[in-house]
Amino acid sequence: MKTSYREAMRTAIREAMLRDDRVFLMGEDVGHYGGCYAVSLGLLEEFGPERIRDTPLSESGFVGAGIGAALGGMRPIVEIMTVNFSLLALDQIINNAATLSHMSGGQFSVPIVIRMTTGAGRQLAAQHSHSLEGWYAHIPGLRIVAPATLADARGMLWTALEDPDPVLLFEHGTLYNVQGELDDDAGPVDIATAAVRRPGDQVSLITYGGTLPTALDAADRLAAEGIEAEVLDLRSLRPLDDAALAATVGKTHRAVVVDEGWRSGSLSAEISARITENLFYDLDAPVGRVCSAEVPMPYARHLELAALPTADRVVAAVHEVVHAGG
Amino acid sequence: MTHQTTDRTTAALPGIDPAHRELALHLLHQMLRVRRLEETCVELYSASKIRGFLHVQIGEEAVAAGVMSALGPEDAVVATYREHGHALLRGVPAGAILAEMYGKQEGCCRGRGGSMHLFDAGTRFFGGNAIVAGGLPVAVGLALADRMQGRDRVTACFFGDGAVAEGEFHESLNLAALWQLPVLFCCENNLYAMGTSLTLTESQTDLALKAAGYEIPAWGVDGMDALAVAEASRRAVDAVRSGGGPHFLEMRTFRFRAHSMFDPERYRDKAEVAQWVERDPIDTLRAHLGLPDDEWAALRTDVDAELQQAVAFAEAGTDEPVEELTRWVYSERGAR
């Protein structure tokens, strides 16, 4: 079946609503508007306003209400328009959702799924474009996932809803229109392991979400010049799949992390550190990184492109690590 | 909530209706339990048995006692970091509360929460929230779950006057009113947000009026009068439970002690404190009841015995093995 990332996500929500009447969707413009990115288009008509619940512009209020509803036995899907807006709900996400299980000595759990759009590439400038999922991956008590493929867009939501703990699901804004084939019976997928999207044996490109297509593009170009890159899609940013990192770096002995987040104090820094700590003697070269330039995202197209990880920059980074060392 | 009373209630005084006397005695007993728990906490803090931040509600006991008397076991409670008394009156044993403050695994949260984060699933006590106003959205969500699942429960949400300045207060009142959710908002207005007077933080100091702006029925209540709080709570809980949407009680009260154990109280006059102490909710109710000295002494003996047992329970508490440090960061119950 030909479908898009957006439609796959919508199908996932719809199916979860049909499977479990405790599931409901809540967020800004999810109902009458049809979803800021049209993910929930048509769901209000199908499920009604109790279960497709438009909220006021009160991120902390409705995220906290989702947490309370989860404590009260519901299975809420809370949509936040963009990761930048989620900063208005940080108190609820970090002080409540992430802590309640531990702080209560395991008496309570918070089975909430919070979906949000992340990333740049659409000239939305510095308040709608940042990739802050790495920040959230810093927080114990949260699970962070980033579906990058149609199958994951279709399959991660149900698994996330079945998880007893809060799951934040990051959808890169440039992926919604990606088209492809998906089996009609495509089902749930796990939310804990990484996946090799392209096998190779000379260098590992470690990435997730919106930069997966970038890494795959770079890998094609590298193949044309005789460098076989393996592309690892992390899928889960917390927990990180250490076994998958070990497997790919153990095979290729060289790694480049491609992450749209900033470099300083980042997820890419964590991945690089883990490789260095755990796999130092497997490495033939220092770990490379391709990240966003350390600026608030600019509006002008040429500046935005200059700030983002591109296939050109990935190829250049691979050249450096391939030509370094032995 | 059962009205736990002793055999002594049978000695009704002339002129006081027996049911009224039973409720009053119940409230007096509950307030005394809170008072003695808090006094015990202060002593134990001074003896370094309890560490961290400690906030006691001495002077404010009428609020928790009155509201709790109106709730049923299926209802939910969300409270603040000044919540020892709320937990106790909700039914969490004093021993489990003190053991929690001792950091022992016999504590109600296995020593992971401490004074500011008491939780108890069995009595539907959802904290213990140390972020001012952080509990309000959660209370709205608990009520939303009840509404969506067709249960006629009430969620009582306690917060102080300081919370009224937070955005989460306004977001939560709006949501609850917009969706007509069964929340009882219980504002414990003790006139100071830590050390800053309400008059220095709010353009409108009539807090019930703010709630009324969200189309929420809101009443000001004398928070030093346990009977008044109980009566207002009963009416509000009945209204909320029967589908009347959220209600708001502004209970005007006062904390007799410092904000925490680290507060030199530079921000308020001793005379102001003394004025409020004259309205001590326990003394007031005791006088109202005309409780004879022997009955009062017997009540005190009961409560002191409860606290002695609680301290002994906490003292006998054990340290959780450090190997369990990272348990419950994620749920151990697995997928449901």
- The mean-pLDDT minimum among A58-67, A188-197, B257-266 falls in B257-266
Tell me the pLDDT band of B12, cut-offs 50, 70 and 90: very low
**What's the pLDDT score for residue B336?**
42
pLDDT at B333: 67
For residue B213, the model assigns a pLDDT of 96
Residue B334: what pLDDT?
A: 55
Query: Is B141 in Cβ contact with A69 (below 8 Å)?
Result: yes
How many Å lie between the alpha carbon of A28 and the closest alpha carbon of chain B?
13
Determine the average pLDDT of the residues in A39-45. Answer: 97
Output the pLDDT for position A94: 98
Contact B12, B31 (CB under 8 A): no
Specify the pLDDT at position B17: 87
pLDDT(A79) > 50: yes
Nearest to B328 among A55, A74, A101 (CB): A101
A64 to chain B: which residues are within 8 Å by CB?
A: 134, 136-138, 140-141, 168, 172
The predicted model gives A239-267 an average pLDDT of 98
Mean pLDDT of chain B, nearest integer: 94
Given a cut of 80, whether residue A326 has pLDDT beyond it is no
Percent of the residues in chain A that have a pLDDT greater than 90, as a whole number: 98
Whether B5 has a pLDDT exceeding 50, the answer reads no
Q: What are the residues whose beta carbons fall under 8 Å from the beta carbon of B167, sequence distance 6 or more?
A: A60, B133
A→B contacts (Cβ < 8 Å), by residue, are: 22, 24, 50, 55-56, 58, 60-74, 76, 91-92, 95-96, 100-109, 111, 140-141, 143, 162-165
Return the higher-pLDDT residue of A218 and A325.
Answer: A218
Q: What is the mean pLDDT of residues B64-69?
A: 98
Closest residue in B to A91 (Cα–Cα): B134
Residue (of A198, A103, A73, A71) closest to B110 by Cα position? A103
- Arithmetic mean of pLDDT, B50-77: 97
A69 vs B112, B121, B145: nearest CB: B145
DSSP B65: H
| CA A271 centroid distance within chain | 15
Can you give chain A as a three-state secondary structure string? CEEEHHHHHHHHHHHHHHHCCCEEEEECCCCCCCCCCCCCCCHHHHHCCCCEEECCCCHHHHHHHHHHHHHCCCEEEEEEEEHHHHHHHHHHHHHHHCCHHHHCCCCCCCCCEEEEEECCCCCCHHHCCCCCHHHHCCCCCCEEECCCCHHHHHHHHHHHHHCCCCEEEEEECCCCCCEEECCCCCCCCCCCCCEEEECCCCEEEEECHHHHHHHHHHHHHHHHCCCCEEEEECCEEECCCHHHHHHHHHHHCCEEEEEEEECCCCHHHHHHHHHHHHHHHHCCCCCEEEEECCCCCCCCHHHHHHHCCCHHHHHHHHHHHHHCCC
- Quick: pLDDT tens for B78-136: 999 999 999 999 999 999 999 999 999 999 999 999 999 999 999 999 999 999 999 99
Percentage of chain B exceeding pLDDT 70: 94
Residue pair B246/B156 in contact by the 8 Å Cβ criterion = no
- Quote the tokens at residue B134: 């952080």
Average pLDDT, chain A: 97
Please identify which of the residues A7, A59, A79, A230 carries the catalytic annotation.
A59
Report pLDDT digits (tens) over A86-114.
999 999 999 999 999 999 999 999 999 99
Mean pLDDT of the region A158-167 = 97
Q: What is the pLDDT of residue B262?
A: 86
pLDDT 10s digits, A227-243: 999 999 999 999 999 99
| Distance (Å, whole) CA B201 – CA B169 | 15
pLDDT at A121: 92
Cα–Cα dist A228/A240, whole Å: 24
pLDDT at A184: 85
Q: 3-state DSSP call for residue B336? A: coil
Report how far residue A47's alpha carbon sits from residue B138's, in angstroms, rounded to the nearest whole number: 24
Residue B260: CA count within 13 A, CB half-sphere: 14
Which residue of chain A comes nearest to B142, CA vs CA?
A68
Residue of B nearest to A164 (CA): B335
pLDDT at B16: 75
Give the chain A residue nearest B151 (alpha carbons).
Answer: A72
Residue B3 has pLDDT above 70, yes or no: no
Q: B203 burial class (0-12, 13-18, 19+ CB within 10 angstroms)?
A: exposed
- Catalytic annotation on A128? yes
Cα gap B181→A172, rounded to integer Å = 34
Q: pLDDT tens digit string along B254-310?
A: 999 999 988 889 999 999 999 999 999 999 999 999 999 999 999 999 999 999 999
> Which runs of consecutive H residues, i.e. helices, occur in chain B?
18-46, 61-68, 84-90, 94-101, 135-148, 167-178, 198-201, 207-212, 226-239, 270-277, 281-289, 293-315
Q: What is the pLDDT of residue A198?
A: 98
Q: Is cis: bond before A239, omega within 30 of 0?
A: yes
Confidence of residue A325 (pLDDT cuts 50, 70, 90): low
What pLDDT, on a 0 to 100 scale, did the predictor assign at position A23? 98
Residue B140 has its nearest CB partner, among A65, A140, A162, at A65
Instruction: Please tell me whether the interface predicted TM-score (ipTM) of this complex is above 0.85.
Output: yes
In tens, the pLDDT along B122-137 reads 999 999 999 999 999 9
CA A308 to chain centre: 17
Identify the pLDDT of residue B2: 38
> Per-residue pLDDT averaged across A277-294, rounded?
97
State the number of CA atoms in the 13 A half-sphere of B311 facing the CB: 18
The H or E element spanning position B196 is strand B196-197
pLDDT band, residue A185 (cuts 50/70/90)? confident
Read off the pLDDT of residues B172-207 as tens digits, 9 standing for 90 and up: 999 999 999 999 999 999 999 999 999 999 999 999
Set of chain B residues whose Cβ sits within 8 Å of the Cβ of A58: 171, 174-175
Q: Do B138 and A165 touch (CB under 8 A)?
A: no
- Which residue out of A128, A130, A172, A253 is catalytically annotated? A128
pTM assigned to the model:
0.95
Q: Give the Cα separation of B317 and B237 in Å (integer).
A: 38
State mean pLDDT over A19-31: 98
Q: What pLDDT does B9 receive? A: 42
